[in-house]
């Protein structure tokens, strides 16, 4: 018997394991893949010596989340590299909106819409900790900063409702914000996408949009090293298919999708809860394309060569139409493409003079199409001559992405549809989203609050509940700070 078992070594599973191990528990983590990290892994997928992030590539959440702020990635050897331009959005006229860390400089670059950008994001950036603490909470407690909560609610109501087109007069500013909202992998005119976009846009001016030196694997490796330092054990290549296969434990935490919980628990789940899990709605999907390049991307618009992230989708109306088509099950000729060019900052990712490019296109859930041609055409649209630089290209369909990581069902990298109802009650309607009806079994994936992103907080919320309910141990909101810790005898084994 061990104190606690975690199934799945993605960012949330590893965060949960670190919280449990630091609280003094004996922890065992089971991961089906040969490497830990889930959505934060780095591998050679095109040519030897070219290291590509296979999941998330850019990490504002890893600097902002309460867990990672307490964990302190730099103290664990993770160097976060900040691009001069956090993200950019090119238009067909050869110009681009540029979001810099400096809010005033960003506003100056947006011309007539500069004051509107400043008035929308300035108050949020000044109170970014309160914004983050609310957005990454379990949404079951009063916000720690009521003013930040009120500011965020007002901004979301504006940008996710009928007034969303009233603030900006230029195509550049409107597209710049809409591109960020489209990270939600859903039509950007809605409360869920608006919230995601405003949070990420706020973080660009508050903490930046960094990339880890060496790749996202550096974050996962730091978590694994900390787990090991506190006595935890990671078992790779362990494909758990039934909860009954696991050793006896005081608590079991599952970094899996709702469908994964159904498969692991079988008939042990109450019928009503199982039916609710089956009704869980997934978002549209992402289909990655990795490029090895002989040189930097030849962007037409000035400033994009300094950007860590670039959104390719044209003007606001085009992105809305494209995302609506994807949600209806169609493959647009010009899909929305999210692109990261890490070798602008981190030459260690590729041999001398070469570059790696990380991209994904939004496609229908479960799509089996290789998006390589469509993505390359979208990049060429804003960077003529790009195709001449491509040394190798590896496309991954949404269906393949889901097979490689079953947590990403059908290529759903958002962990579920970003509807207001499902963001508040995910994966099912109950007060505690992390506790399951099975004694001592908790869900800690992005299908629980607070949702997607490499922030670890879904794991933290589940681990805090397990510690309190099963072991009589209390820790602070970040999972790492003491809060009157008291070690009691473990609960009954699962």
Q: Which residue ranges form the domains of the chain, and what is each CATH number?
A: 80-111+157-211+283-403 (3.90.660)
**Is residue 485's pLDDT more than 70?**
no
Mean pLDDT in residue range 238-251: 95
Mean pLDDT in residue range 439-462: 96
3-class DSSP state of 405: coil
pLDDT digits 0-9 by tens, 44-68: 999 999 999 999 999 999 999 999 9
In 243-298, the DSSP E strands lie at 249-254, 285-293
pLDDT confidence of residue 490: 44
pLDDT above 90 covers a percentage of the chain that reads 92
Mean pLDDT in residue range 110-115: 97
Q: State the Cα angle at 124 between 188 and 132, rounded to 5°.
A: 80
**Is residue 88's pLDDT more than 50?**
yes
**Is residue 493's pLDDT more than 60?**
no
Q: Using an 8 Å Cβ cutoff, are 250 and 440 in contact?
A: yes
Contacts 24+ apart (CB under 8 A), 25-28: 25/250, 25/467, 25/471, 26/2, 26/231, 26/232, 27/2, 27/3, 27/227, 27/231, 27/232, 27/233, 28/2, 28/4, 28/232, 28/233, 28/235, 28/247, 28/249
pLDDT confidence of residue 15: 98
pLDDT confidence of residue 140: 85
Give the residue among 176, 167, 166, 169 at the shortest CA–CA distance from 95.
176
Mean pLDDT in residue range 119-128: 98
R_g over Cα of the chain: 22
**Is residue 422's pLDDT more than 90?**
no
When the pLDDT of each residue in the chain is averaged and rounded to a whole number, the result is: 95
What's the token pair of residue 241? 């298919």
pLDDT confidence of residue 180: 97
Three-state SS annotation for 443-461: ECCCCCCCCCCCCCHHHHH
pLDDT confidence of residue 142: 87
pLDDT confidence of residue 488: 41
This prediction's pTM:
0.95
Mean pLDDT in residue range 464-479: 96
Mean pLDDT in residue range 298-327: 97
**Is residue 212's pLDDT more than 80?**
yes
pLDDT confidence of residue 424: 84
At 157, the pLDDT band (50, 70, 90 cuts) reads: very high
Mean pLDDT in residue range 223-244: 97
At 423, the pLDDT band (50, 70, 90 cuts) reads: confident
How far, in Å, CA of 222 to CA of 466, rounded? 23
At 494, the pLDDT band (50, 70, 90 cuts) reads: very low
């Amino acid at each position: 018997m061990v104190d606690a078992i975690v199934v799945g070594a993605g960012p949330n599973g590893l965060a949960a394991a670190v919280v449990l191990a630091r609280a003094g528990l004996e922890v065992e983590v089971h991961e089906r893949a040969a490497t830990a990290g889930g959505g934060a892994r780095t591998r050679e997928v095109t040519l030897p010596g070219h290291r590509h992030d296979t999941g998330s590539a850019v990490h504002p959440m890893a600097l902002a989340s309460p867990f990672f702020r307490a964990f302190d990635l730099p103290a664990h050897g993770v160097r976060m590299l900040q691009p001069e331009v956090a993200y950019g959005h090119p238009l067909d006229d050869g110009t681009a909106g540029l979001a810099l860390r400096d809010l005033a400089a960003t506003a100056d670059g947006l011309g007539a819409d500069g004051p509107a950008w400043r008035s929308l994001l300035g108050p949020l950036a000044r109170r970014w900790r309160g914004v983050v603490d609310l957005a990454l909470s379990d949404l079951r407690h009063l916000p720690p900063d009521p003013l930040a909560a009120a500011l965020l609610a007002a901004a979301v109501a504006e940008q996710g409702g009928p007034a969303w087109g009233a603030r900006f007069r230029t195509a550049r500013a409107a597209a710049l914000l809409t591109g960020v909202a489209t990270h939600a992998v859903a039509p950007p005119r809605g409360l869920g996408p608006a919230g995601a976009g405003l949070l990420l846009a706020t973080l660009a001016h508050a903490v930046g949009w960094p990339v880890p030196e060496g790749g996202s694997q550096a974050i996962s490796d730091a978590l694994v090293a900390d787990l090991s330092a506190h006595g935890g054990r990671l078992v790779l290549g362990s494909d758990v298919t039934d909860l009954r296969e696991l050793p006896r434990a005081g608590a079991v935490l599952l970094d899996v999708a709702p469908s994964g919980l159904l498969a692991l628990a079988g008939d042990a789940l109450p019928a009503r809860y199982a039916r609710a899990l089956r009704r869980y709605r997934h978002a549209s999907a992402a289909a990655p394309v990795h490029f090895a390049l002989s040189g930097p991307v030849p962007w037409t618009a000035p400033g994009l060569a300094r950007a860590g992230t670039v959104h390719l989708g044209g003007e606001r109306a085009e992105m809305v139409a494209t995302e609506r088509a994807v949600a209806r099950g169609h493959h647009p000729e010009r899909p929305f493409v999210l692109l990261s060019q890490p070798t602008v900052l981190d030459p260690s990712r590729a041999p001398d003079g070469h570059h790696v490019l990380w991209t994904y296109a939004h496609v229908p859930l479960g799509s089996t199409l290789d998006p390589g041609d469509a993505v390359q055409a979208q990049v060429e649209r804003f960077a003529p001559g790009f195709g001449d630089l491509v040394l190798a290209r590896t496309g991954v369909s949404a269906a393949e992405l889901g097979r490689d990581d079953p947590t990403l069902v059908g290529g759903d990298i958002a962990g579920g549809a970003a509807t207001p109802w499902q963001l508040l009650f995910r994966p099912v309607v109950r007060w505690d989203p992390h506790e399951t009806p099975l004694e001592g079994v908790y869900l800690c994936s992005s299908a629980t609050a607070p949702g997607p992103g490499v922030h670890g907080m879904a794991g933290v919320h589940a681990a805090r509940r397990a510690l309190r309910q099963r072991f009589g141990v209390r820790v602070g909101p970040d999972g790492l700070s003491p809060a009157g810790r008291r070690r009691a005898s473990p609960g009954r084994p699962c």
